[in-house]
Amino acid sequence: NAGVTQTPKFQVLKTGQSMTLQCAQDMNHEYMSWYRQDPGMGLRLIHYSVGAGITDQGEVPNGYNVSRSTTEDFPLRLLSAAPSQTSVYFCASRPLMGELFFGEGSRLTVL
């Protein structure tokens, strides 16, 4: 059982480049979300989705886009990377009533 799978695990970008962090879950969870983790700030919610075709903004959505075309996938797009987006990104999913299951994380560095 793979759970929540994120790719890539590591990425280095130059300012202004775009990229997509992939997230897939095989648990048939309705809810999926993206967090960023920065030292001393805990996890901050970027975007979330309660089902296919439905997305909503979290605490820090600026500079990021998401889509949810299937139940399984929830990619996070950085449109024009900035150094402030250097962070560790976690994808997580859960059933509508339940706890979050996290991916392994993606470490992004923007130069």
Partner 1 sequence: AQSVSQHNHHVILSEAASLELGCNYSYGGTVNLFWYVQYPGQHLQLLLKYFSGDPLVKGIKGFEAEFIKSKFSFNLRKPSVQWSDTAEYFCAVNRNNNDMRFGAGTRLTVKP
Contact residues toward partner 1 (CB under 8 A) are 33, 35, 40-45, 48, 50, 56, 58-59, 90, 92, 94, 96-97, 99-100, 102-105
Q: Residue 54's beta-bridge partner residues? A: 51
User: Between 41 and 111, whose beta carbon lies closer to partner 1?
Assistant: 41
User: Between 48 and 78, whose beta carbon lies closer to partner 1?
Assistant: 48
Task: Tell me phi and psi for residue 83, to 5 degrees.
Answer: -55, -30
Instruction: Kindly state the smallest distance separating residue 67's Cβ from partner 1, in Å.
Output: 17
Instruction: Kindly state the smallest distance separating residue 96's Cβ from partner 1, in Å.
Output: 6
Instruction: Kindly state the smallest distance separating residue 74's Cβ from partner 1, in Å.
Output: 14
CB 52 within 8 A of CB 71: yes
Q: Which residue has the tokens 């793979």?
A: 2
Alpha helices in 1-111 (DSSP H): none
User: Between 14 and 39, whose beta carbon lies closer to partner 1?
Assistant: 39
Instruction: Kindly state the smallest distance separating residue 25's Cβ from partner 1, in Å.
Output: 13
User: Between 55 and 85, whose beta carbon lies closer to partner 1?
Assistant: 55
Q: Which two tokens stand for residue 63?
A: 């500079």
Kindly tell me the burial class for residue 16, based on how many C-beta atoms sit within 10 Å of its own C-beta (0-12, 13-18, 19 or more).
exposed
